Amino acid sequence: MRYVLIATIAAAAFATPAFAQPPESPGGFHVDVVGGYDHPRINGQGADGVAYGLGVGYDASAGRAIFGVEGEVGDSTADRCAIGTVIAGDRLCVNAGRDLYVGGRVGARVGANSLIYVKAGYTNARVGVNYDDGTSATVADFSDHRDLDGVRAGAGAQLGIGSRAYVRTEYRYSNYQDGVQRHQVVAGLGVRF
Q: What is the pTM of this model?
A: 0.77
At residue 26, the pLDDT reads: 64
Residues in the chain, pLDDT under 50 = 1-23
In a domain, 68, yes or no: yes
In a domain, 2, yes or no: no
Q: How many domains does the chain have?
A: 1
At residue 187, the pLDDT reads: 97
In a domain, 5, yes or no: no
* Biggest CA-to-CA distance, the chain: 89
For 37, the domain range is 25-192
At residue 4, the pLDDT reads: 44
In a domain, 51, yes or no: yes
In a domain, 77, yes or no: yes
At residue 137, the pLDDT reads: 65
At residue 157, the pLDDT reads: 97
CATH number of 89's domain: 2.40.160.20
In a domain, 1, yes or no: no
Residue 175 CB: number of other CB atoms within 10 A?
Answer: 14
Distances (CA, A) of 124 to 34, 94, 113, 175: 17, 17, 32, 10
In a domain, 149, yes or no: yes
At residue 163, the pLDDT reads: 83
